[in-house]
Structure 1
Amino acid sequence: MSNDTMTTTSRTGGGLLLGVVIGAAVGAVSALLFTPKNGVEMRQDLAERYRSLSEKTGDLASTVTAKSSDLASCVTKSASDLLGQAKESTAVLADKLRTAKTEVADEVRHQASEVKHETTEQANHLQSEANRQADHLKHEAPSQLNNIQPKFN
């Protein structure tokens, strides 16, 4: 709803109440003025109608005040409930994020440990192979040297 529509609705609601009060007053005064009574009786009737109208207006004002207070309390409670739910949801989400962070960190450490272990095994294997090849060359070098020396003499 636009602000213009809301303002019109507010004015209409307030205008209706004002119209009812004014209409009742005009009706009461008109009835008294057109009724054949003497001045004292008319003043008493006007005073009585005024008191009655004042009481009804006071009762209406009290009702509006009470309803407004109830509405304000309801809105405050709802806002408080929503705030509590938001805080609770935030806490649950933060806890889940901490748990996920810990799980990811643990998995990364585990994977790093496995890579380190595999790398160490590969390095040891390569070292063993290099040592084996070196030993092989040590043993074959003299015979190869003996094969080559007669050709140069």
Structure 2
Amino acid sequence: MAKGNQRKSFMFGAIAGGIIGSVTALLLAPKAGREIRKDLAEGAQEVGERTVRVASQVSDTTTRIAKQVGSTASNAAGRAKETAGSVIEGVRGWRTSRGDNHAVNSKSDESAEGGEDEQNQSIESKSEELQSIT
């Protein structure tokens, strides 16, 4: 980003220096007033055309970069959404298989089920939260 600003500053400085130098040279040149005015008009027209060309190039480059950034961000968001969906499905699959195992467990494990239920509820709420984000 800093290099872009340095380049811009350099370009503006170069253009301003060119204009100032041209005007100074024309004013100090031994020419008639009519010739100086003509040269000044031509120089101003040339500077205007160059400015339009540079502005067009900057605009084109900025548009291209903005499209690339937008495309990259869109792709990253899509990948993140897919990954979150995979994680959610994995957690749901894990919870489902854990729920099936609870039915097979003996009554001695019933005291531990309270803690596991809380964990399952926490996991479920987190998976719903992830799903709502995506």
Q: Offset of 1:17 from its aligned partner? A: 2.6
One-letter code aligned to 2:31:
K
Q: Deviations over 1:55-89 (max 9, x none)?
A: 11111111111111112111111111111111100
Listed as ranges, the gaps of 5+ residues in structure 2 are 110-134
Listed as ranges, the gaps of 5+ residues in structure 1 are 1-6, 116-153
Normalised by the length of structure 2, the TM-score is 0.69
Q: Offset of 1:14 from its aligned partner? A: 4.2
Percent identity of paired positions between Structure 1 and Structure 2: 30
One-letter code aligned to 2:82:
E
* Alignment pair present for 1:93 and 2:87: yes
* Number of equivalent positions: 108
Q: CA RMSD, aligned part only?
A: 2.5
**Cross-structure match for 1:79:** 73
Normalised by the length of structure 1, the TM-score is 0.61
One-letter code aligned to 2:55:
A
Structure whose CA Rg is larger: 1
* Alignment pair present for 1:24 and 2:18: yes
* Alignment pair present for 1:41 and 2:35: yes
Larger RCO (CA under 8 A, 6+ residues apart)? 2
Q: Offset of 1:34 from its aligned partner? A: 2.9
